[in-house]
């Protein structure tokens, strides 16, 4: 285990589903602590797949991954759970527990880590109010609108101030004003030290916020920095 | 808008609305019903056996059938010789602590109520009797002893009532063994039913469990929700099963009492036995909890 300031390191990583071809090959990547990246690429390029490696929902079909300096090849189930508690995830399809209220969904990460219910109530109420969902706090998420669900999903991902935040299209279902507000939330979290990766199709967001971009193309990963004038002038890593 | 209080929060896994609940509850009720009745059988047979054992333990009697001979003196001498052989043999048996042939006076005393005081028993071909004391923790196979005794002294026989009781005990022991097997099987089937419904439920809620995992829930967190639910179903099922079993046990007990001979009346359920029977719902609860916990841990091990 090398002790460095990279939150995530990948080497020679490949992903394939079942017996299919690799959808990502030879991925090499280091995410320094406190960095902020966009993740881009055409639909089907593998953004969700790459993120799922980072939030430890699947193993790569080859290669090495370290998360918080833990080599995943040498990490047991309980350690995995502890690592996952330091990661906040906004899923592309939200993955809320629809039979539960917005409150219970957002409270989930705190309950899983055994926090006191009084403290949970305080924090969840505060955050749901901030994302303008106080009216729907005790509604089942199944009856919420797409944008409302998305805000619940985001609230759930940040409620425990994760060290790493991975968001898959987190602003796809909300209007520009709310999108801006949510982006500011991510930026604020980043300032407090959270490493952030956001998969997005939105050119507006990418242009408004000058962060480097991980771009998936032809099964490979390319990194572009905001100073680059041309998308095709980027570095190959 | 329902104001969910944070104390009565909902479980993440909607186990209460599962339609396997009713199935499980019925299975557990029937299992506890059968278990309770069989157990009451085992416990009463146990009490019966220990009552019989008490009457066997301590001492047995051996009779020496008098030898038939027109010459009385010779007959008596031969009979006494057989008695001597029997005494010698009995002294060599493991677990026998004391062997005392009854004297003429003692035999006289025993027989006088039947024959009157005027009869001189030495004139009659009366059997001789040997009192054999046995150590209480001796494990004696009376059937074998009876055969060995006949070998050593052809005129000697073991008290037949006790021999018969001993055979009855072997039979009851066998019955108990079968009943205990039934108990084990019923427990295993219940446990199996809980295992499969839990596994099915885990499959059904695969998505929720995956989300819980990604959020950082340990398997124990998920297992606890199953343990709680299955424990509840086990307990309620147990209560229902017991509710029907208790009258059934009394009914069977009454039938047994009507059997003549008093053998069955040695079978009674004591306070301790009833305590065990009434704790069956708790027992069902623990089996359910343990099985659910084990199943979840084993099944989730294979997940990422
Ligand atoms: N569970 C799966 N089983 C089989 N194939 C999969 C699975 N998940 C993704 N794929 C395939 O992997 C490729 C990459 O999918 P992925 O969801 O990572 O793309 P994406 O970049 O997130 O796309 P989008 O922008 O549409 O969300 C696709 O071709 C998809 O069909
Ligand atoms: Mg995707």
Per residue in B251-290, pLDDT tens?
988 887 776 555 555 667 889 999 999 999 999 999 999 9
* A84 contacts on B by Cβ (under 8 Å): 213-216
- d(CA B261, ligand 1 centre) in Å: 81
Helices and strands, number each (H, E), in chain A = 7, 11
pLDDT level of residue B5 (50, 70, 90 thresholds): very low
The winner for highest mean pLDDT among A34-38, B89-93, B154-158, B168-172 is A34-38
The whole-angstrom distance between A131's CA and the closest CA on chain B is: 19
The residues on A that touch B, with CB distances below 8 Å, are 55-59, 77-78, 80-87, 89, 95, 97, 99-101, 103-104, 107-109, 111-113, 117-118, 120-121, 138-139, 156
Give the pLDDT of residue B7: 45
A227 lines ligand 1 (CB under 6 A): no
A61 lines ligand 1 (CB under 6 A): no
- All residues at 6 or more sequence positions from A222 whose CB lies less than 8 Å from its CB, including other chains: A214, A215, A216, A234, A235, A236, A237
Give the pLDDT of residue B69: 78
User: Which of B6, B10, B211 faces A121 most closely, judged by CB atoms?
Assistant: B6
Name the token pair of A97: 């527990």
- Residue B206 touches partner A, C-beta closer than 8 Å: no
Helix (H, G, I), strand (E, B) or coil at A15: strand
Give the pLDDT of residue A86: 96
Inter-chain residue contact A108 with B212, CB threshold 8 Å: yes
User: What residue spans define the domains of chain B?
Assistant: 15-54+165-300, 66-154
Rounded CA separation A156/A96 (Å): 9
Of all protein residues, the one whose alpha carbon is nearest to atom 6 of ligand 1 is A17
- Residue B208 touches partner A, C-beta closer than 8 Å: yes
Q: Which of B174, B194, B170, B176 is nearest to B291 (CA)?
A: B194
| ipTM reported for the complex, 2 dp | 0.90
Q: Which residue among A19, A22, A42, A46 is best mutated to probe the pocket of ligand 1, counting the most ligand atoms within 8 A of its Cβ? A: A46
Residue A68 pLDDT greater than 50, yes or no? yes
Chain B residue whose CA is closest to A125: B6
A170 lines ligand 1 (CB under 6 A): no
If you average pLDDT over residues B285-297, what whole number do you get?
96
A92 lines ligand 1 (CB under 6 A): yes
Question: Which tens digit of pLDDT belongs to each residue from B188-198?
Answer: 999 999 999 99
Chain A residue whose CA is closest to B221: A112
* B301 contacts on A by Cβ (under 8 Å): 77
User: Which of B4, B7, B12 faces A138 most closely, judged by CB atoms?
Assistant: B4
Residue with tokens 């969902």: A133
Residue B9 pLDDT greater than 70, yes or no? no
The mean of the pLDDT values for chain B is 86
Q: Which of B9, B299, B207, B222 is nearest to A81 (CA)?
A: B222
Residue with tokens 């010789």: B81
pLDDT level of residue B121 (50, 70, 90 thresholds): low
Give the pLDDT of residue A4: 66
User: What residue spans define the domains of chain A?
Assistant: 99-161
Residue B166 pLDDT greater than 80, yes or no? no
Q: Which of A197, A236, A204 is nearest to A217 (CA)?
A: A236
Q: Which residue among A18, A41, A47, A95 is best mutated to probe the pocket of ligand 1, counting the most ligand atoms within 8 A of its Cβ? A: A47
Name the token pair of B84: 């001597």
Helix (H, G, I), strand (E, B) or coil at A192: coil
DSSP assignment of chain B: -----STTPPPSS--TT-THHHHHHHHHHHHHHHHHHHHHHHHHHHHHHHHHHHHHSSEEEEEEPPPP-SSHHHHHHHHHHHHHHHHHHHHHSTTEEEEEEPPHHHHHHHHHHHH-TT--GGGS-PPEEEEEEE-TT----HHHHHHHHHHH-TTEEE-HHHHHHHHHHHHHHHHHHHHHHHHHHHHHHHHHHHHHHHHHHHHHTHHHHHHHHHHT--HHHHHHHHHHHHHHHHHHHHHHHHHHHHHHHHHHHHHHHTSTTSSGGG----HHHHHHHHTHHHHHHHHHHHHHHHHHHHHHTT--
The mean of the pLDDT values for chain A is 91
Which of B247 and A233 is assigned the larger pLDDT? B247
- All residues at 6 or more sequence positions from A170 whose CB lies less than 8 Å from its CB, including other chains: A90, A150, A153, A154, A182, A186, A198, A200
Residue with tokens 């208790």: B246
């Amino acid at each position: 285990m090398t002790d460095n300031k990279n939150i995530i390191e990948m080497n020679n990583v490949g992903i394939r589903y079942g017996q299919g071809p690799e959808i990502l090959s030879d991925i090499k990547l280091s995410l320094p602590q406190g960095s902020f990246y966009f993740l881009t690429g055409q639909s089907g390029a593998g953004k969700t797949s790459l993120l799922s490696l980072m939030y430890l929902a699947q193993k790569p079909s080859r290669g090495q991954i370290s998360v918080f300096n833990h080599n995943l090849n040498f990490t047991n189930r309980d350690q995995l759970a502890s690592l996952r508690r330091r990661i906040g995830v906004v899923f592309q399809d939200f993955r809320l527990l629809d039979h539960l209220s917005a409150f219970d969904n957002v409270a989930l990460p705190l309950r899983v880590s055994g926090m006191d219910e009084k403290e949970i109530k305080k924090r969840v109420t505060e955050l749901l109010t901030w994302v303008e969902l106080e009216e729907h706090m005790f509604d089942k998420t199944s009856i919420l609108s797409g944008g409302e669900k998305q805000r619940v999903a985001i609230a759930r991902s940040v409620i425990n101030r994760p060290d790493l935040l991975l968001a898959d299209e987190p602003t796809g279902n909300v209007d520009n004003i709310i999108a801006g507000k949510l982006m500011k939330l991510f930026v604020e979290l980043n300032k407090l030290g959270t490493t952030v990766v956001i998969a997005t199709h939105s050119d507006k967001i990418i242009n408004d916020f000058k962060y480097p971009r991980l771009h998936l193309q032809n099964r490979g990963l390319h990194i572009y920095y905001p100073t680059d004038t041309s998308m095709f002038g980027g570095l190959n890593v | 808008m329902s104001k969910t209080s944070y104390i009565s929060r909902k479980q993440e896994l909607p186990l209460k609305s599962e339609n396997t609940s009713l199935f499980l509850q019925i299975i557990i009720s029937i299992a506890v019903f059968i278990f309770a009745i069989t157990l009451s059988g085992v416990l009463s047979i146990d009490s019966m056996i220990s009552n019989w054992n008490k009457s066997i333990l301590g001492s047995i009697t051996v009779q020496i059938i008098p030898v038939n001979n027109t010459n009385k003196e010779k007959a008596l001498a031969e009979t006494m010789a057989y008695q001597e052989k029997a005494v010698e043999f009995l002294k060599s048996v493991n677990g026998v602590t004391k062997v005392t042939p009854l004297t003429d006076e003692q035999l006289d005393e025993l027989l006088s109520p039947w024959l009157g005081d005027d009869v001189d028993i030495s004139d009659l071909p009366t059997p001789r009797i040997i009192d054999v004391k046995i150590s209480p923790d001796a494990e004696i196979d009376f059937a074998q002893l009876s055969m060995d005794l006949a070998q050593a002294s052809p005129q000697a026989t073991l008290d037949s009532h006790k021999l018969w009781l001993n055979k009855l005990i072997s039979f009851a022991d066998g019955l108990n063994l079968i009943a205990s097997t039934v108990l084990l099987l019923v427990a295993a089937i219940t446990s199996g039913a809980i295992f499969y419904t839990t596994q099915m439920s885990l499959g059904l809620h695969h998505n929720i469990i995956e989300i819980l995992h990604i959020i950082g829930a340990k398997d124990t967190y998920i297992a606890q929700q199953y343990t709680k639910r299955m424990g509840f179903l086990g307990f309620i099922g147990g209560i229902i099963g017991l509710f029907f079993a208790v009258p059934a046990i009394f009914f069977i007990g009454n039938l047994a009492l009507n059997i003549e001979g008093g053998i069955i009346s040695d079978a009674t359920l004591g306070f301790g036995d009833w305590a065990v029977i009434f704790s069956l719902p708790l027992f069902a609860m623990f089996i359910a909890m343990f099985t659910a916990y084990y199943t979840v841990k084993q099944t989730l091990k294979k997940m990422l």
